[in-house]
Chain A
Amino acid sequence: MADNKDIMGVFADTDTAAEGARQLKSAGFVQDDYDVLTGNPYPEGAFGEHVKPNRLFVFALAGGFVGFAIAFLFTAATQTAFPLVTGGKPILAIPAMMIIMYEMTLLFAMIFTVTGVIFESRLPRPSGAGPVYDTRITLGYIGLIVTTSEDRLEKAEEALKAAGAEDIVRESS
């Protein structure tokens, strides 16, 4: 929603951050209201969060099909465009075409996979890491970021402070 604001509690360790998530839940916030920022991966669900399913494999599959189709059309079209019979062999050299189709299938699958990772990671963010971020996160701190309406920001801040947040970062209005 357009009038939602971000507020982030910065926690020094995993236990207080997990407590922060618990406090948020008991204050009436649901999983979709908050997100966790960490400097390295943690086991999934360490902070009570739930990661929604992604469709990365669809990107890889689609890329594979696109690459295969492009390679097939390109190799077939170029050979038929200059139909020179060599040694009585068919115009379309299927085994040779397969090599190019194989490479292009994998090339496009890889390109689409990377596009998929970036897209599914909601990147690139035009605003950079912000609007609410703390550089200590890459030093091992954990950020618990709540996105909610302005009237609930105080409630979120109380919950984060009660759990032992070292700092509270608010989105500038």
Chain B
Amino acid sequence: MQDRPTLTPTQINDELLWPVFSFRKRHAVAFIPPMILLMGGVAAVTILIYQGLWVTGLQRPAFWGFFIVNFVFWIGVSHAGTMISAILRLTQAEWKRPITRAAEVMTIFSLVTSLLHPVIHAGRPWRIIYWLIPYDFSRGIWPDVRSPLVWDPIAITTYLTGSILFVFTALIPDFALIRDQSTGLRKKIYGRLALGWRGTPRQWKLQGIFGLLMSALILPVFVSVHSIVSWDFAVSVVPAWHVTVYAPYFVIGAVHSGVSMVLTLMALMRWIFKLENYIWEDHFDAVGRLLIVIATLWLFFFFLDFAYSFYTREEQELAVMERRLFEWPFNAITVIMVFTSYVIPIPLWLSRRVRRNIPLMFWTSILVNIGMWLERYFLIIPAIERKNELTFLWSNYVPSLIESLVVLASFGMVGFLLLLFAKVVPLVPAWEAKEGVIFREDVQFGEVTLPGIIKETEEENVW
């Protein structure tokens, strides 16, 4: 058991609020890599808009390439943020405190980043505005509710709105904290954002209930969003996409990549913002154990997907599976994917020593995300490259440099937005960190002292 420091409210304020009140070198340096990636992406998108979509590797029949692969990847990553936070809140897991906000914010920024992809993919992004605003209601033509491409924006908008509201409401007490500790214009701005928060027992109680109620509401949305993203594929009649298992397969894949991304984020937060007093080895240990279960479930669905195709014995289904497993470069991608997202990390995570080794957890979580990105490529590309009776439509998708730069820039964008967010509010909720100290009570068992947590037990106090 790691030593858990006892912190005073002033110390918590100082340690969590320094990125807001000062701009230290470590924070500034952290901005450099994402900004380089982001600039590459801006250049790539500029070229794409100027030259047209031919600069990408998209051509008949593969019109869904890196952009859509990356779109699905980031939607997936956005999932675990809210999932992990909501599940930890609902189960009242005490170790949730330092993780929830960063996870929820990652959800928002991943969603925003993913939403940019279809816009870039349109080639002429300004035309999207022509299609949407003003919507052509005058002819009585409305969006077709039977199309998954209508369900998808509705689900994503719901998830994004819910996540923003979730984060904002939980931020109000911290806005008040910054308001009280600052002067001048900053005090005025945070004063507005804090809505006049004072910290009465009623306000605190409502915050607690809100966390539980909102978690209960957002979990069903979380499950639905990636199910619906999977239906973008599964509701079509493309061989190997048209599978009923796609919804749970996508959801579990999203959770696997997202929780790994939370792990990456925890390590980075600990290093950049010196949060050793808040993000402990115990947290890495707990998330590592959770990931073993999630990864194993993902592997089960991975095999199940093959089983569905083999069971139907349809020629076209088998052709896609054969392509995924035996044809270059998909055979290499499949092997790398299985190794990076399961075979390498899981046996390592079985060891408690590895789970408590933060650099190792960081690198293994990166491996999982490489694997899970490749998984999206593995699912999407071989199926649309299928050969039909028109031989002039036969071609292979080869991603271009432009697309690769946009993919790299998406990582830069999420990193940049997170660092910027950390400049505005603490990534670890200060009030929750203080609550953790208040409710903590060391319990003596003979010669051993263990950290215990006081919980309210009367039912009327919970709701």
Instruction: Name A residues whose Cβ lies closer than 8 Å to a Cβ of B.
Output: 35-44, 47, 49, 51-52, 54, 56-57, 60, 75, 78-79, 81-82, 86, 93, 96-97, 99-100, 102-104, 106-107, 109-111, 113-114, 117-118, 120-129, 133, 135-140
Contact = CB atoms under 8 A, between A and B. Distances in A.
Contacts of A82: 140-142
B326 interface: no
Contact of B195 (A42, A49, A123): A123
27 contacts: A38-B199, A39-B177, A39-B199, A40-B204, A40-B438, A42-B438, A43-B439, A44-B461, A49-B201, A51-B201, A54-B202, A54-B206, A56-B209, A79-B145, A81-B140, A99-B155, A106-B217, A106-B220, A107-B158, A110-B214, A124-B195, A126-B196, A129-B179, A129-B194, A129-B197, A135-B180, A138-B13
Contact of A41 (B145, B177, B217, B438): B438
B151 A54 contact: no
Contact of A100 (B8, B145, B204): B145
Contacts of A111: 161, 165
B142 A57 contact: no
B158 A78 contact: no
Interface in B228-247: 228
A135 B296 CA distance: 50
Interface SS of chain B: helix
A128 B196 contact: yes
Contact of B431 (A39, A44, A129): A39
B316 interface: no
Contacts of B146: 86, 93, 96
Residue picked from A47, A107, A122, A124, most chain B C-beta under 10 Å: A107
A110 B145 contact: no
- Residue among A99, A120, A121, A127 having the largest count of chain B Cβ atoms under 10 Å: A121
Given A113-B213, A114-B165, A123-B196, A42 B142 contact: no
A121 B162 contact: no
Interface string B169-192: 100110011011100000000010
A100 B158 CA distance: 10
B4 interface: no
Contact of B169 (A38, A40, A117): A117
Given A51-B202, A56-B206, A123-B197, A100 B151 contact: yes
Contacts, number: 190
A110 B165 contact: yes
A104 B161 CA distance: 11
Contact of B217 (A36, A81, A109, A123): A109
B434 interface: yes
Interface string B423-435: 0000000010011
Given A110-B158, A110-B221, 10 more contacts: A35-B201, A37-B198, A39-B434, A40-B199, A96-B151, A111-B165, A122-B203, A129-B176, A138-B181, A140-B8
Contacts of A139: 9-10, 13, 180-181
10 closest cross-chain pairs (CB), A and B: A125-B196, A140-B9, A78-B142, A40-B434, A124-B195, A135-B180, A41-B204, A107-B158, A123-B195, A138-B180
B132 interface: no
A56 B162 CA distance: 16
A42 B201 contact: yes
A137 B199 contact: yes
Contacts of A51: 201-202, 205
Contacts of A107: 157-158, 161-162, 221
A25 B399 CA distance: 74
A28 B462 CA distance: 30
Nearest to B462: A44
A51 B207 CA distance: 13
Contact of A118 (B145, B154, B195): B195
A120 B213 CA distance: 14
A56 B213 CA distance: 9
Contacts of A125: 195-196, 198
Given A93-B146, A100-B145, A127-B196, A38 B204 contact: yes
**Which of B145, B151, B439 is most buried by chain A, counting CB atoms within 10 A of its CB?**
B145
Contacts of B435: 40-41
A18 to B, nearest CB: 13
B391 interface: no
B55 interface: no
A140 to B, nearest CB: 3
Contact of A106 (B162, B168, B202): B162
Contacts of B217: 60, 106, 109-110, 113
A142 to B, nearest CB: 9
Contacts of A86: 146
A43 B142 contact: no
A22 B204 CA distance: 22
B206 A117 contact: yes
A97 B181 CA distance: 50
